[in-house]
Amino acid sequence: MKSCYLFCGLLLCLLLRASAVSVAAEQLNSQAREGSKQAAHKNRPPLQSTSLYFLPLTSIRPKGWLERQLRIQADGLSGHLDEVWSDVGPNSAWLGGTGEAWERGPYFLDGLVPLAYLLDDAKLKAKAEKWVNWTLTHQGADGSIGPVVNQDWWPRMVMLKVLIQYQEATDDPRVIPLMLRYFAFQARELPKRPLQDWGKYRWQDEVVSIFWLYNRTGDPSLLSLAQLLHEQGYNWKGQFDDFEYTKKTDRTILNGSGAALPDRAMQTHGVNNAMALKMSPVWSLFSGSAEDRKAIYQQVKMLDQYHGIPNGMFSADEHIAGTDPSQGIELCAVVESMYSYEQIEAALGDPVFADRLEKVAFNALPGTFRDDMWSHQYDQQPNQIACTRGVRHWSTNGPDANLYGLSPEFGCCTANMHQGWPKLVSSLWMGTADDGLAAVAYAPNEVEAEVHGRVRVHIVEETEYPFRGNVRLTMNPATPVSFPLKLRIPAWATGATVAVAGSPVNGVQSGTYLVISREWNKGDRVEITFPMQPRVSRWENNSVAIERGPLVFSLKLGETWNKLEGDALAPDWEVRPTTPWNYGLELDPARPAAAIKVVEAPIGQYPFSGDGPPVELIMKARRVPEWQEVEGSAGPLPESPVKSRSPDEQITLVPYGAAKLRITAFPEIVQDSSSAMQH
């Protein structure tokens, strides 16, 4: 049955694209309707209705550079991790073996399942299905799932995320009954064995899966279970209502009793905080509380104000670490923030969160991988002048934390990093409350979904965004159909224009969703232009970073990569600089675009690579001699503006993700009149 749906989907797609006989398309259309695979699920009362909702996995397929990026990922560690890392090898307890029995198997699957189905890669699907099948065929008589040797609730929360994606991709009829039995088991057990440790701080991620199942079954006991998790789980909203963690943490945060991290360490833990972004928005779907809907704004404000760094993230290495751009952020926190912003956007429909999703996805995510995605860092730094083994001023992490490798510092990121790109693909489009479609984030893709009156629509999105500002949508409805098309206009996109069939659309406003309601016909074209003038943002000590569209730009340092020990396929690397880094920028903040020359080039085999990046910014700079290295990192930024007697130089900035050694936050140079006379 599964293969039938896949076959029908493929055939339907081909027919639609080939401007086929509409009768044939209509017949297939009605067949596809019978499968639940493509049917999106809105919130079922009493859950609050939302303006946006997720489309089922595989409704959106990556194209262009994004498809290439997923293929790089599949050809890199994500497609081969089980072959080189025993923690997710054949002896995993999540495959019935005697090996790792906690979070690493489910983490790996949370990215491997969507990667495999989005690429429709038979080999990867076979790998993923082996794991999912073990869980589906080894449920305990009491309803429990997972390895019996480890009863922690937390890794099961991750496995539930895996199962809902797998169900959407395959329609496997075993998933929903298994989840119902598991949640009934947990509802009986939780009063006796309440949430603790990681599960207590990450409970909201299970609520996402509970609501997913409730929307498909209407079983009211699921909402009671969600309430129980809410009662036992940590109240992140309370933490940010009165935020006490306004300073960089240090190793004293780990002081406490017992084997687990003390509460204060859990509350300042970077990955916990990234996951917790979604807590209040997700919970608001049940509570209906305006306070819960508003809480995320305060949460993001506090993290930005006290720990914000220029790549879209807050610092945490591995506990929150202040605004110095030489502090790090862990890869798990990057991919978990992306997943949170995707959930927040669906729950609240405010485009500001999709802006942030893109900033993290197009900067912090690629900036912490080697081009071929065979190595990654644990902690990345916006100002990262050397990735070497040694003491750095992290809050609590150790000497390996910013190496590129298989599992520098700790293996959580090695297991968890795979979800980043695939879940971005799945969030590019969402359904709307009024049965239309919304372009939530931009990248090349095609989407196929049902709109008004369950008419199937196929839209091809051609773009080189985020490197360019032009997006072209070609609409292919099965029959002419009226529905609202919502287009996110990013907050930075002042002066954006939209045209339908060559006619400009009025009312385009940055920081909103533009709604175009009309009858759509086959071949209708929507042309979107986002102006991409460079602009300046301000960071620690009044330093400046240069942004253009959703991309942040960095000075790329000359890099020497030295192989350290490790697996031959996935070695660890040190990276040392070969060029100076301590530059300040000369610019007119009121008119930054005037002093910056934009140079575009074709997108290369590796979209985020320092080897021929798709866009470069050329501008004037001067060395700042007093800005020096401290313990392997760029030392504290001098307060801007800064005077420099160094000569003018021309420097080239590249996308953050293309610079594996980089400076992103720079001192701002003011002209020194005495030096001007000397020169």
Shortest distance in whole angstroms from residue 321 CB to Zn ion? 15
Nearer to Zn ion, 412 or 441 (CB): 412
- Binding to Zn ion in span 413-432, by CB under 5 A: 413
Instruction: Identify which of 400, 421, 246 has the alpha carbon closest to the alpha carbon of residue 320.
Output: 246
Nearer to Zn ion, 261 or 332 (CB): 332
Shortest distance in whole angstroms from residue 577 CB to Zn ion? 26
Instruction: Identify which of 203, 537, 600 has the alpha carbon closest to the alpha carbon of residue 355.
Output: 537
- Binding to Zn ion in span 280-339, by CB under 5 A: 330, 332
C-alpha 187 chain-centroid distance: 31
Shortest distance in whole angstroms from residue 400 CB to Zn ion? 13
Shortest distance in whole angstroms from residue 417 CB to Zn ion? 8
Nearer to Zn ion, 162 or 354 (CB): 162
Shortest distance in whole angstroms from residue 185 CB to Zn ion? 29
Q: Which residue is nearest to Zn ion (CB)?
A: 332
Shortest distance in whole angstroms from residue 155 CB to Zn ion? 14
Q: Are 321 and 248 in contact (CB under 8 A)?
A: yes
Amino acid at 82: D
Q: Are 396 and 318 in contact (CB under 8 A)?
A: yes
Nearer to Zn ion, 275 or 457 (CB): 275
Nearer to Zn ion, 275 or 354 (CB): 275
- Binding to Zn ion in span 61-80, by CB under 5 A: none
Instruction: Indicate the Cα dihedral angle 138, 144, 145, 147, nearest 10°.
Output: -90
Residue 643's DSSP bridge partners are 670
Nearer to Zn ion, 160 or 413 (CB): 413
Shortest distance in whole angstroms from residue 609 CB to Zn ion? 24
Q: How far apart are CA 295 and CA 278, in angstroms?
A: 10
Shortest distance in whole angstroms from residue 255 CB to Zn ion? 22
Instruction: Identify which of 264, 305, 263, 299 has the alpha carbon closest to the alpha carbon of residue 280.
Output: 299
Nearer to Zn ion, 379 or 616 (CB): 379
Q: In 10 A of CB 237, how many CB atoms?
A: 20
Surface-to-core class of residue 84, CB atoms within 10 Å of its CB (0-12 exposed, 13-18 middle, 19+ buried): middle
Nearer to Zn ion, 330 or 342 (CB): 330
Q: How far apart are CA 636 and CA 633, in angstroms?
A: 9
Shortest distance in whole angstroms from residue 228 CB to Zn ion? 28
Shortest distance in whole angstroms from residue 371 CB to Zn ion? 21
Nearer to Zn ion, 412 or 585 (CB): 412
One-letter-per-residue 3-state SS of 641-657: CEECCCCCEEEEEEEHH
Instruction: Identify which of 648, 665, 534 has the alpha carbon closest to the alpha carbon of residue 595.
Output: 534
Nearer to Zn ion, 29 or 414 (CB): 414
Nearer to Zn ion, 401 or 412 (CB): 412
Shortest distance in whole angstroms from residue 78 CB to Zn ion? 15
Q: Are 98 and 91 in contact (CB under 8 A)?
A: yes
- Binding to Zn ion in span 374-413, by CB under 5 A: 412-413
One-letter-per-residue 3-state SS of 83-131: HHCHHHCCCCHHHCCCCCCCCHHHHHHHHHHHHHHHHCCHHHHHHHHHH
Number of residues that bind Zn ion (CB under 5 A): 4
Per the structure block, which two tokens stand in for 523?
């071949």
Q: Are 64 and 428 in contact (CB under 8 A)?
A: no
Residue 547 region by backbone torsions, left for phi larger than 0, else alpha for psi between -120 and 50, else beta: beta
Shortest distance in whole angstroms from residue 313 CB to Zn ion? 13
Surface-to-core class of residue 576, CB atoms within 10 Å of its CB (0-12 exposed, 13-18 middle, 19+ buried): middle
Nearer to Zn ion, 56 or 312 (CB): 312
Shortest distance in whole angstroms from residue 253 CB to Zn ion? 17
Task: Please identify which residue in the block is written with the tokens 């076979």.
Answer: 126
H or E stretch including 41? Answer: none
C-alpha 147 chain-centroid distance: 29
Q: How many CA atoms lie within 13 A of 441 on its CB side?
A: 30
**SS3 for 423?**
helix
Nearer to Zn ion, 317 or 330 (CB): 330
- Binding to Zn ion in span 440-499, by CB under 5 A: none
Contact residues toward Zn ion (CB under 5 A) are: 330, 332, 412-413
